[in-house]
Structure 1
Amino acid sequence: MKMNFDSKKILVIEDQAIIRETIKHILYSLGVRHIVEAGTGVNGIVEMRRSQFDIVLCDYNLGDGKNGQQVLEEAKHFKLLSFNAVFIMITVEQSKNMVLSALDCKPDDYLIKPFNRLQLSTRIERCIVRKEYLASIEREIDIGNIYQAIQNCEKLLQQGNKKTRLHVLKIRADLALVIRDFKAAKKIYQEILQERDIPWAKLGMIVIVFFDGNYEQAVESLQQFIGQYPMMLEAYDWLAKSYEALGNNEEALITLNLAIDLSPQTILRQQRLALLADKTENIEVAKKAYKAAVNLGKHSVYGSSSDFSGLAKAHLKSNSAGDALKILNDMNKCFFNDPDSRLRAAILEIEIQKAKNNGVVAQKPYEKAFKLNEQFGKQIARELRLEMAKISHLSGASEMTDEILADLIKTNIDDKYFIGEIDKMCNAFIGDNYANDLIGRIKQELVDINNEGVNLFKEGRIKDALAIFEDAVEKMPNNQAITLSLLKIIIHDLKTSKPDPKKTMLVQSYINKAIKIGVPHDQIGSIQLELDKIQYQNPLTQKS
């Protein structure tokens, strides 16, 4: 059946006017009536901010400025495309690097120039049919309702559509990994691999090995996998993570470099490489990666002042204070309103002035850093606040150091990696037992808060218990135990009171948040089941 394009609104992003006209001519011949065009990536983003499009056709190479990969990254980051919109990347060449870079940001499909009417219509129709079929799943993923998305996957699988079965199973397994239901994910991957040898299912099995903590086995399996599927970039990322988990940062560095050789335009991977090179004191690799991240960041939504700061610090390690100062000036021009960037600039200025042995001049950036910390506090990124804690300790402001570290520990107590970073900093600059003592006190404080709330709940003082946990969650938004306790109490309140759609929505939002902060399925899954039962028994509480 021929698809009706009459109602579809299409955005064409292409820097060459003659090619835009050719694409528009093909689209008009297909019956398209609503076409908007943009000659640059920036204008493409502007158009997506102005209105919703059903289809975006975007060239990868857009001259100076944003490329197609960066356009898609920004569109996804700010949710400028609806869950059922189609984004097709267009490339002019079939080189390995270009194709891998285009696919790295996961467009719905891609086309190689030149293409004809049949090729374009076939790709668009295929994408639209797939999007429409998966709409019930993608809609829930888009708003963060992962458990509902899983239920919708199961409904589609029950229909027995052989053509779509594998695609839906992949989504179902990916969602199982998101909620850390590794048992369900493993079952799906095993079922698929018994039928045929599919790369993503093989990789999924290895990812589960990683999450089980068997890092050596993960490394061995990933090495074999990459030997078999050298173009699957995601495998390099997991291999680097596995090496890092084993403490083998040098091999992790080599692995990320291999991935970047294949797809050099992905800024997030360049940033990871730069941080890893910093860890291993590989200054030249760090400089190269930070410089790449700075250049890519000029047109990317993921561009960060931390890339400038990292590059400047790499120059300081090479005794190039002048180069570091130049980068600081560039950073200040690019990021002048962002609190993180302003504090980062002040801290960097302190380090540059120290390197130049100019202690008197360094006093001014110290004052600036303290003022910014006082002004923005918890709004500042946690890594930057940890650096601020170090600076405040070294300058003798011990009270501020204690305050920052206590808050960072409370907020990130379940993040073992970051707690480890706090421990390292304290051991290096404050004292060996400082972090352990502080962490111990805060853990006891959290236990006391939890016990107080639970005791109030047991006494039947539901409102008081809710108030305790709501206040705690506001102060410590990433604390798993507090979030779980709050959820259990609200669920109990829902079960024992009249139907309340607002409370139901609140519980679902907390469940979605619990998934994001890493609460595993075996702890959160039962709460989702209870909420589903409440919604089933009380239709008034169901979302419209």
Structure 2
Amino acid sequence: MAYENYSQLRVLVVDDFMQFLTSIKRMLEELGVVKIDIALSSSQALQFCDGPAYDVVLCDYNLGDDVKNGLHVLEAIREKRAIRHHTMFVLVTAETSKEVVLATYDEEPDAYLTKPFNYKMLYQRLNRILLRRDEMKPVFSALEKNELKQAIQCCEKKSEMTGRFQVDFKKLLCDLYLKNKNYDLAEMLLKKVLDERPLDWAKISYARVKVALGEFEVATDNLKDLIRSNKFCLQAYDILIDVYEATGETEKKQKILKEVTDVSPLSILRQKRLGEVAQVNNDMGTAATAYLRCVQVGKHSCHKAPEDYMELGRTTAAMLAESNGDMERHSQKTLEALSGVSSQFGSDSNRDTQLLLVQSRIYSGLKNETKSVSMLKKAEELIRQNSDILDVKTKLDWAQAISSNGEKERADKLLRELVMEYQDDEKALSEIDKHLAEPKSKANRMKIASINREGVGFYNDKKYAESINLFKYAARLFPKHVGIRLNLVQAILGDLEAGDRTLDRRGLCLEILNSVSEEIPDSDRQGVRYAHLRDKFDKLERLF
């Protein structure tokens, strides 16, 4: 069956080579297309898409060096809703690298055309997607009017009819059921589809149904099976990440994010999520690497944000503070990225101050005292000028920069002042808690109390591995909390006495004891407890 209404189409062709544009324009004219616009750049393409909607956009992937590519164009027009349901986006590409191919899966264009192609290949590809579009037009029209129930009814009728696009209708119907929270109907439909054929999209949708119903274990098992059978099924990773986020399993969430970003590294949003969860887990090395990739792959993305650059700076500074390795190359890349923030995002009092403070910390970590002090002085001049509009994040950056420059008492004094200033602001206190030996926010105090009860319970029942894992998790959330870290030492010592004498356990125990010894006076209650645990560890070491 042939599509017959080419003369009624509006088509946009995007490529940075005029010769190629002329060639495609001639092919389209042979098909009968009359209304054809051409764009020589991504910026031109986005301007065209701000006008009346197109029926087809044919966009090359590679649009030049250091500019938006075809996927960035699709991402941007979807983000600002400049593309309609009836607009078919065809990505034209000569790229064959795994990273690029997987990145295209993420954006899901309606079709692909691989260069070089001829008139016949273009005709076949357009014919199929335009016939499918016309079949789906009643559903698309209802969706454009936000008439979800009408769209579902149209889709139900079409999915019951035999035809070449029946599977497409079933897939869309399942998405609409999920959107409308018709989970039972979605599950029934998917079971029928899967009984006929084990399609990946149906397995993914089935997992989404189970997540929506709170059946996380079933969803997890299905998603893991799907990833084992197809490691390039990126949506399966994404749903599994959402499951671990819902269940609060941040270590597992980080592990899956690391796996999927290794498989497909060009997603700015996944790199950002990896950076965020690694920060939560206090894994600054992974966080800094993820944020660096985030700003690199996101240079031309509509999802790039100044905060990603700031978090890159903060995690790099934290990594330098805790690392004895050579971080020169990563640090220089970070400083280079930070130097372009103002030109990309404009000036902002808080951000300009944060930039100087974060750079001060990085230079301190690189042992460049002159630059570190210079940056801190510049930042403190801005702080004096804008003290009434600075947010809590800027003030915390200030405290950390002061501390990294050797003024620990002044930094501690500033943190105490911040606790008083934000005593009625739970959200701000939660941010400040990350820098305190004892949390001040109600939510975090309750969280620590709950963790301690559960961890001590495991310890008393001689379930040392469970106790160690729980206190490790707590220590990542609250790295400065002395009580949590000593609880972890006590759990490890119990495990050592029970027979687990691995070097890893002993090394971790010694590392914690050494760090705690520098933070508490002997007269402190925790100091007395530290002395007891240290003596116990030393005796066990002599036995080993």
**TM-score interval, normalised by the smaller of the two chains:** 0.5 to 0.7
- Secondary structure of the structure 2 residue equivalent to 1:261: helix
Question: What amino acid sits opposite 1:435 in the alignment?
Answer: K
Q: Distance in 1 between matches of 2:350 and 2:440?
A: 28
1:334 counterpart (344, 348, 356): 344
Stretches of structure 2 that go unaligned for 5 or more consecutive residues are 322-327, 365-371, 399-413, 447-544
Instruction: Determine the structure 2 residue equivalent to 1:197.
Output: 198
Instruction: Determine the structure 2 residue equivalent to 1:79.
Output: 81
Question: Structure 2 vs 1, CA of residues 54 and 422 (structure 1 numbering), >3 Å: closer, same or farther?
Answer: farther
How far did 1:89 drift? 0.5
How far did 1:88 drift? 0.2
How far did 1:120 drift? 1.0
2:417 counterpart (370, 377, 396): 396
Stretches of structure 1 that go unaligned for 5 or more consecutive residues are 374-384, 409-420, 440-544
Is residue 61 from structure 1 mapped to residue 52 from structure 2 by the alignment?
A: no
CA-atom RMSD in angstroms: 3.5
Question: What amino acid sits opposite 2:55 in the alignment?
Answer: D
Instruction: Determine the structure 2 residue equivalent to 1:363.
Output: 380
| Paired residues for 1:517-528 under 5 Å | none
How far did 1:273 drift? 2.0
Instruction: Determine the structure 2 residue equivalent to 1:346.
Output: 353
Tell whether the 8 Å contact from 2:357 to 2:397 is kept in structure 1 after alignment: no
| Paired residues for 1:523-534 under 5 Å | none
Q: Distance in 2 between matches of 1:151 and 1:430?
A: 58
Question: Structure 2 vs 1, CA of residues 38 and 371 (structure 1 numbering), >3 Å: closer, same or farther?
Answer: farther
- Secondary structure of the structure 1 residue equivalent to 2:417: coil
Question: Structure 2 vs 1, CA of residues 426 and 219 (structure 1 numbering), >3 Å: closer, same or farther?
Answer: same
Tell whether the 8 Å contact from 1:55 to 1:87 is kept in structure 2 after alignment: yes
Q: Which moved more, 1:248-257 or 1:16-25?
A: 248-257
| Paired residues for 1:68-107 under 5 Å | 68-107=70-109
Q: Distance in 2 between matches of 1:333 and 1:250?
A: 36
Instruction: Determine the structure 2 residue equivalent to 1:19.
Output: 20
Tell whether the 8 Å contact from 1:312 to 1:323 is kept in structure 2 after alignment: no
Question: Structure 2 vs 1, CA of residues 403 and 152 (structure 1 numbering), >3 Å: closer, same or farther?
Answer: farther
Q: Distance in 2 between matches of 1:200 and 1:368?
A: 56
Tell whether the 8 Å contact from 1:346 to 1:368 is kept in structure 2 after alignment: no
Instruction: Determine the structure 2 residue equivalent to 1:234.
Output: 235
Is residue 137 from structure 1 mapped to residue 139 from structure 2 by the alignment?
A: yes
| Paired residues for 1:149-168 under 5 Å | 149-157=151-159, 160-168=161-169
Instruction: Determine the structure 2 residue equivalent to 1:218.
Output: 219
Question: Structure 2 vs 1, CA of residues 56 and 63 (structure 1 numbering), >3 Å: closer, same or farther?
Answer: same
* Greater Cα radius of gyration, structure 1 or 2: 2
Q: Distance in 2 between matches of 1:59 and 1:323?
A: 30
Q: Distance in 1 between matches of 2:429 and 2:126?
A: 50
Q: Which moved more, 1:118-127 or 1:364-373?
A: 364-373
How far did 1:101 drift? 1.8
Tell whether the 8 Å contact from 1:7 to 1:33 is kept in structure 2 after alignment: yes
Q: Distance in 2 between matches of 1:191 and 1:226?
A: 22
Question: Structure 2 vs 1, CA of residues 248 and 82 (structure 1 numbering), >3 Å: closer, same or farther?
Answer: closer
Q: Which moved more, 1:348-357 or 1:56-65?
A: 348-357
How far did 1:6 drift? 1.6
Tell whether the 8 Å contact from 1:58 to 1:87 is kept in structure 2 after alignment: yes
How far did 1:348 drift? 4.4
Q: Give the percent of matched residue pairs that are identical in Structure 1 and Structure 2.
A: 27
TM-score where L is the length of structure 2: 0.66
How far did 1:112 drift? 1.0
Q: Distance in 2 between matches of 1:357 and 1:274?
A: 28
Q: Name the structure, 1 or 2, with higher relative contact order (CA <8 Å, separation 6+).
A: 1
How far did 1:45 drift? 1.2
Question: What amino acid sits opposite 2:107 in the alignment?
Answer: C
Question: Structure 2 vs 1, CA of residues 162 and 248 (structure 1 numbering), >3 Å: closer, same or farther?
Answer: same
Q: Distance in 2 between matches of 1:284 and 1:402?
A: 32
| Paired residues for 1:287-302 under 5 Å | 287-302=288-303
Tell whether the 8 Å contact from 1:83 to 1:138 is kept in structure 2 after alignment: yes
Q: Distance in 2 between matches of 1:240 and 1:194?
A: 27
Is residue 43 from structure 1 mapped to residue 44 from structure 2 by the alignment?
A: yes
Instruction: Determine the structure 2 residue equivalent to 1:124.
Output: 126
Question: What amino acid sits opposite 2:186 in the alignment?
Answer: A
Question: Structure 2 vs 1, CA of residues 311 and 8 (structure 1 numbering), >3 Å: closer, same or farther?
Answer: same
Q: Distance in 1 between matches of 2:93 and 2:441?
A: 55
Post-superposition Cα deviations, 1:164-205, rounded to whole Å, max 9, x if no partner, equal 333222222222323433223222211222232221111222
Q: Distance in 2 between matches of 1:2 and 1:144?
A: 28
Q: Which moved more, 1:139-148 or 1:59-68?
A: 139-148
How far did 1:281 drift? 3.3
Instruction: Determine the structure 1 residue equivalent to 2:113.
Output: 111
Aligned residues: 410
Q: Which moved more, 1:427-436 or 1:231-240?
A: 427-436
Q: Which moved more, 1:388-397 or 1:248-257?
A: 388-397
Question: What amino acid sits opposite 1:219 in the alignment?
Answer: T
